[in-house]
Amino acid sequence: MVAVLSYVACIGLWIVNTLILIIKKNPFWLLLLFFTHLFELLTVGLKTGRKFGEKDPVSIASCICFGFLWWLPLKKQMERETFTDDDFVRRPDDIVIRHD
Amino acid sequence: MGIKYEHNAVVIAEAPKLNYTHNYVCLPYDYGRQSYEDRADVKAIKATVRGALDDLDKATGWKEKFRGQKILIKPNLVFVTPKTGYRYDYDIPQTTDPRVFDATMEVLSELCDDIVIGEGSGLVTWGYAKIAGYLRIAEKYGARFMAFEERPTERYFCPKAEVGREVYFPDIVGEVVRGERLYVSHPKTKCNIYTGVTLGFKNSMGTYSVNMRARNHTYEIDTKLTDIMYAFKPDLTVIDGIIGGEGNTPGPNDPVLFDRIICGTNAVEVDRVTTELMGFDPKESRLLIEADKKGFNDPDVEIIGEKRVVPFRRAEPTLLSERFKKNWPGVKEFVGYTNPHVPKLTKLDGIPFEDVFAMEQYDRGGTPSSLGTCFEVFFASYTYPLTKKRHLNVVVGEGAEFEGKKYWISDDGHAYSLEELKELPYLTVVVGENSAPAKEAASHPFFFIRGWGEVNNLAVRMAAAMMPTLPGQTDLHWLPWIGIGAVRKYVVKLARAAMGHPTDMTYDAFRDGPYTIPELEAQNLDVDCIPAPLPPLTLKDRLKAMKETKILAQFLI
């Protein structure tokens, strides 16, 4: 749910900044957003995308659009999916769910 | 058509008792790399699948029959729903575990070069295949992935079938029907709200062209599903039983640690064994009863392995159960049917609950199950706390006749006339094509919900009735793929229709019973299935096919 809202907020930010550019002829906020995402792409986004297995064009487009909202979940997913043998030992509290 | 085995066998292979709960819906990011191959669960699954298929080969010699053949392998992709889709903190086990599927593909790719992975989830198959990792599996083994709803449709006649005499399949399934390609069914061990369980041959529902699925999606569903076997039968069935799914599938279901792979050469027998292992009596399964009646079973089948039962929670295709009433105390159902299969209405008050229940269950393969699926989705939604006390009247059925007038009965045993239904407090929805006599009781024309088996249409309108409710799959990490998949499907279908190769038949699922086929000559009456090519489309036909292409559902704008 948080992911949904944050993506919607990010799209909203692009729209608002574009409107500011068009109406007030002020490119500052749009450029700030773009260069922030570009900085993220060059420092962490592209590296994360490659490690995750994404193609470079996908990483570039996604990171420029959504910035950390794109690369942070990938990083977290990779952390979640890095397992040791201990993670595969059957334990009594493994899922037993009953929505009776 | 297909392989004729001299001896059929079913193998039950136990998997080591490990924790298999990581990535049982979606492949991990490192699939295809050494780190994936080194995982303890992956190694155990691969060893179990290979062992099971080797044991089956010793008993039946299936490998030699498959060597060098073309193959269509069909997993079961329903809603591919990672954890964040619903308010539950676990993955929803509706889809064939991609780790198990990968293990099967490894074995098959050693025998055959031309493998097609095909599925028609009824929704956005390509998107789900992308999310679950099936596209990556196809790439790894040099196979092709085909979403059935994007393929041109072909028509066949099955003269011996009871209700599925005229059937439409995608062209790639047509190759199976004509005996040019072998078919491997690779479902998951799951309960199913429409049919009790969904296993080896029920998996074939997804092989129909989409609008074909809606035909006879009623009390006739078991007959219809077994009729498919006149067209083709699985040449090999591999059931993913590592983690099963219990409850109201295709609504969000609950995982069960089942720890095994079941495979065999006769799908009906594989399903019988698996049904038993899930704690259900195969003699009560209408699907299996129908299949036996038509002679698709094999009483001489050899069963290899231990029958260890793990009871699954039964699917409940009803709005009258204790569980449903506990979850949705404000939802009231009014049900009425008049036909020889349901109890006759003899009074207007004090009607026994058993009679009301029997009346509702008459249409088990249709409206009550589809409604049950919708409510299971709403129950699992993040918005459930906001909607659980919502009052809603649900009217189902054409009405039970009493002294020349129609009535719909509630679970308290009182029969309501149409006039009384119109006076009910709160919102009223009227569901199902056959419920048309009650459509005036709907609070708004939008809430008379037509169409058998048109679940998308039902789900959207029911969600409107239960606002504010959110469906699952609210994680935007995955949602774009579903969106892209939906647009892709729409564009492909439009393009194919424009080129004169429509992907679907005209939606016509408005009645029960067999759909008529032309008079056949004597030599054709004795065959199971014959091709019935469609005439070339005129420009007008193409435009009609394009107009009938809908992005989501037939009865929505």
Task: Please report residues of B whose CB lies closer than 8 A to that of A74.
Answer: 29
DSSP characters for B412-481? Answer: TS-EEEHHHHHT-SSEEEEESGGGGGGGGGSSSGGGEE--TT-HHHHHHHHHHHT-S---S---TTTHHH
Domain housing B386: 322-465
A12-26, A67-81, B83-97: which range is least confident on average?
A: B83-97
Handedness of CA B338, B341, B347, B352 (dihedral sign): negative
Query: Mutate which of A83, A84, A98 to test chain B, going by most B C-beta atoms within 10 A?
Result: A83
| B2 in a structural domain | no
The whole-angstrom distance between B403's CA and the closest CA on chain A is 41
Write out pLDDT tens, residues B367-421.
Answer: 899 999 999 999 998 889 999 999 999 999 999 999 999 999 999 999 999 999 9
Same domain, B74 and B196: yes
Between residues B419 and B455, which one has the greater pLDDT? B419
A64 phi and psi angles, rounded to 5 deg = -65, -40
Is B116:B136 a contact under the CB 8 Å cutoff? no
Whether residues B50 and B148 fall in one domain = yes
Q: In this structure, is residue B338 part of a structural domain?
A: yes
> Using an 8 Å Cβ cutoff, are B546 and B494 in contact?
yes
Residues A77, B23: C-beta atoms closer than 8 Å: no
Flag whether B251 is in a domain: yes
CB spacing of B28 vs A81 below 8 angstroms: yes
Nearest CA distance, A53 vs chain B (angstrom): 7
Q: Hey, is the C-beta of A5 within 8 angstroms of any chain B C-beta?
A: no
Tell me which chain B residue has its CA closest to the CA of residue A78.
B29
Domain locations along chain A: 2-81
B474 in reach of chain A (CB within 8 A):
yes
Q: Which residue of A has its CA nearest to B248?
A: A99
Same domain, B206 and B79: yes
Cβ contacts of B455-459, under 8 Å, gap ≥ 24: B455/B122, B455/B370, B455/B373, B455/B374, B456/B122, B456/B123, B456/B552, B456/B553, B456/B556, B457/B552, B457/B553, B457/B554, B457/B555, B457/B556, B458/B370, B458/B371, B458/B374, B458/B431, B459/B373, B459/B374, B459/B377
CA distance B243 to chain A (A): 10
Does residue B490 form part of some domain? no
Q: Are residues B251 and B328 in the same domain?
A: no
Mark which of B440, B465, B490 sits at the end of a domain.
B465
The answer to whether the peptide bond before residue B468 is cis (omega within 30 degrees of 0) is: yes
Please check whether residues B295 and B328 belong to one and the same domain: no
Same domain, B17 and B44: yes
The reply to whether B28 and B168 lie within a common domain is yes
Using an 8 Å CB-CB cutoff, list chain A residues near B30: 53, 81
Write out pLDDT tens, residues B6-50: 999 999 999 999 999 999 999 999 999 999 999 999 999 999 999
Q: What is the rounded distance in angstroms from the CA atom of residue B213 to the CA atom of residue B551?
A: 17
The CATH number given to whatever domain includes residue B252 is 3.40.50.11440
Whether residues B112 and B217 share a domain: the answer is yes
When CB atoms are compared, the residue of A3, A78, A87 closest to B477 is A3
Q: Which residue has the higher pLDDT, B123 or B102?
A: B102
pLDDT of res. B112: 94
Considering the domain architecture, whether residues B233 and B334 belong to the same structural domain is answered as: no
Last residue of a domain, one of B249, B278, B304: B304
Distances (CA, A) of A95 to A39, B92, B193, B366, B497: 41, 12, 22, 32, 47
Q: What percent of chain B has pLDDT over 70?
A: 98
List, for residues B268-326, the tens digit of each pLDDT value.
999 999 999 999 999 999 999 999 999 999 999 999 999 999 999 999 999 999 999 99
Q: How many domains does chain B have?
A: 2
Residue at which a domain ends, from B465, B498, B514: B465
Tell me the shortest Cα–Cα distance from A23 to chain B, in angstroms.
30
Minimal-distance CA residue of chain A relative to B42: A88
Asked if residue B432 lies in contact with residue B397, where contact means CB atoms within 8 angstroms, the answer is yes
Cβ atoms A90, B17 nearer than 8 A: yes
Q: Tell me whether A77 touches chain B (CB under 8 Å).
A: yes
Residue A48 has pLDDT above 80, yes or no: yes
Q: Which residues on A lie below 8 Å from B477 (Cβ)?
A: 3, 73
Q: Is residue B50 part of a domain?
A: yes
CB B6 within 8 A of CB B64: no
* Mean pLDDT score across all residues of chain B: 92
- B147-198 per-position pLDDT tens digit: 999 999 999 999 999 999 999 999 999 999 999 999 999 999 999 999 999 9
